[in-house]
Structure 1
Amino acid sequence: MFQGDDVQTLLDKLGFIPGEIVEIILTTRGVEGELNAAPMGVIRVGARTLEVRPFLETRTYRNLKDTGLGVANITYDVGLFLETAFKRGGVRPEWFEEEPVADPPGLRGADALLFLSVLEESSFSEMRARFLCRVEWVRVRTPFPRAFSRGFAAAIEAIIHATRIEAFIREGRREEVDRLLRLFRGCRDVIERVSPEDSPNRRVVETLEDMIAEWMSKEWR
């Protein structure tokens, strides 16, 4: 675990470029003890400060507001991004560490954990809040570097598009859905070019296609 000046250095090494959105999975705990995990884009806005912008109706927002604590999990497990984004089986205890060193716990298998405390809250928009969070300390589990995969990047982007497609289908915003479907298909095309058929990236995009088809069949019959 690293604190103090080491945190700033580690954020640099972990790819947290100031002003750039980085995709992580944020784990939080509510005041009643319930755990939550959700993919989230965070922005480094200071030497050891991250900005988080959750939607107001989400459990992530409520937990950060009520407890002021969270863990930013860095992971290359694209399946975990999918599961925590949609939670089709609910929040699963097996996602989380069995013996965490702090609370809330991080995710099992995460490559690195960033333990956050909320410094301040403000409004980002009518639908979203802005939390400035201090990175109190960092735990790096997998220091060995990994090669970059366009398939992984496209799978994460496809998950993000799908979360918006689901919301816009419910709201009947067909033009927005059509636009996002084109972007989603672009991600799928990249994955089909660079990832083998039995890869996690392929499985994720195929699952998303089935989910999108189900949403559309229910809402737009």
Structure 2
Amino acid sequence: KNSILYMEFTVNNILNESIDRAKIECNITRIEEGNEKIQPYCRGLFAVLECIIHATRVKKYFLEKNFNEAEKLMQLIFYYRDLIDRVAPETDYAKLVKTIIKDCEEWRSKASEGLC
């Protein structure tokens, strides 16, 4: 049973039936725990994905010497880093965003020196 919870029930009465929906009165006959575990939603995953997407554009902008656009995206990456530090500190998400920032700062440095 690939589910969080398994529930059996019998139908007592069908109320307010229409083409689209019905209200059904039931009795629960059995409840059983499934084998799936509840995974709480973590905003860290979303935030690190945003950082990855922005970083690809940061690199492109630095290569093109478009510092204004690159810095705007860097600010967004810093925003998401701060979010990850709040909701998922000391996780793989935090480690990954740290690496992303390091890479972005390296690209910035190379672009400033004219090495890109």
TM-score, normalised on structure 2? 0.62
Whole-angstrom CA distance in 2 between matches of 1:205 and 1:162: 10
DSSP 3-state at the match of 1:163: helix
Query: What is residue 43 of structure 2 aligned with on the other side?
Result: 150
Aligned residue identity for 1:168? Y
Partner of 1:203: 95
- After TM superposition, give the deviation of residue 151 of structure 1 in Å: 1.0
SS in 2 for 1:179: helix
Q: What amino acid maps onto 1:169 in structure 2?
A: F
Amino acid at match of 2:75: R
Secondary structure of the 2:68 match is: helix
Higher strand fraction (1 or 2): 1
- Partner residue of 1:194 out of 81, 87, 101: 87
CA displacement at 1:196 relative to structure 2:
2.3
> RMSD value over aligned CA atoms?
1.5
Q: Distance in 2 between matches of 1:181 and 1:167?
A: 12
String of CA shifts for 1:33-85, please: whole Å, max 9, x gaps: xxxxxxxxxxxxxxxxxxxxxxxxxxxxxxxxxxxxxxxxxxxxxxxxxxxxx
Aligned length: 78
Of 50, 63, 67, which residue of structure 2 is paired with 1:174? 67
Query: Do residues 214 (structure 1) and 98 (structure 2) align?
Result: no
- Report deviation, 1:219: 1.4
Instruction: State the 1:189 CA deviation.
Output: 0.7
Alignment partner, residue 121 of structure 1: none
- Give the distance between the partners of 2:43 and 2:89, measured in 1 at CA: 12
* Misfit runs of 4+, over 2 Å: 143-147
Unaligned regions of 5+ residues in structure 1, if any?
1-142
Matched ranges for 1:1-221 at <5 A: 146-197=39-90, 199-221=91-113
Report how far residue 145 of structure 1 moved.
5.8
Distance in 2, Cα, partners of 1:170 & 1:145: 44
Q: What TM-score does the superposition give when structure 1 sets the normalisation length?
A: 0.34
**Per-residue Cα deviation, 1:168-220 (whole angstroms, up to 9, x for no partner):** 000111111121111111111100111122x1101101101110111111111
